[in-house]
Structure 1
């Protein structure tokens, strides 16, 4: 026979466990899940941000055909790459502009890495990285006013924005894009190496894929970045960019 108080006792125990988990920001919608979780020894998942605190940092960067370790120290004492590289400058500009994350107000005295950010975890990590390495992202955005944007979605797997180009010698409008490395690679015909664009041949595609596989093998979320200077003869000053009936390259 089953003791009369067993059901109530089990329910109370599961409820108390659920309350303890709630204090750690883990909401239990179904009490049976607590029992299942209690008997679990291993969880295999690619949803790292969901299972952890969803706080991400930039760990590695691939540019100039080399993997560089990112410096996430507040005083930037561990920089392991050449910040004067024109390729790095272009990459940082894309990461800062093609990014919707923003620092919350009144945090100028708070260390950059500890500031609260409104936005996606990946974009927040990029924002802090560029702020640390290159200075104010807000100033960068002010110099490159956003004109149009296509937000990230699971179908396209990329995010795109168009900005007024601060360097008019390049073009009046700058298109920047980030997303799944494969989607970005498919849209590119050139690659920047040591500040100069060169054809994206099979050798460089293989190098790109090898870096992608290596970083992915470390369990890191990998993003690709690209930019395009929109031709002035087709996209003149005041051109109306339509993100519904897309009238520009994507």
Structure 2
């Protein structure tokens, strides 16, 4: 069985539901995980996803910001949303595929939207950056306590950190820019390695290849300047690492009409 899972910060699912529908019709991943859905639960476009064949859904959202969702062709019976750092700010959702999912049964999918962290990389001067670091610490504590990598599992989402030198357009110029500062990159890599996750993208496409999943809206011509960052990640537990076959970034999506500033990232597993 081949399993395809996509992660995409959509920057408002209601605003871009047409775009999402076109993506799902064209590429048809088994599971789509969204971040920054920016919609309360009662306004989530569940019917539109249902009509596209994604009848299994788990989502948590807020009006105008945050929000995560998992929509799937494959059934899942377990789902859980964690409140992080004492805040119910809709930044996490887990779904576990059930027996009817065939060879994919038992795989847990952890969808995270880590805080961006503001503009000043100093937790004493910037509460948003302090929150981001605390959020990372809490993911680490969750990993130690719950041991999610003891089972077949995927952790993915907009982690808002570009950890490696070639995950950004200029390592030297971005060392003091939030998302690529040493404290962020070191913390994320330590968390990933110590908890037993494998970075799917860098396993298949190692450094020094440049990999980006985000291009700023501020760029007058994002494609020509190509000042991107790899902020969106898909990690695998050891049980799934041997099944990894492909990982792709749909770069062209950044050029679609009224796009998100992030593009879909898709992993393919052979189970």
The structure having more radius of gyration, on CA atoms, is 1
Q: Which has the higher helix share?
A: 1
- TM-score, length basis structure 1: 0.26
Q: Which has the higher strand share?
A: 2
Higher relative contact order, structure no. (Cα contacts within 8 Å, ≥ 6 residues apart): 2
- TM-score, length basis structure 2: 0.24
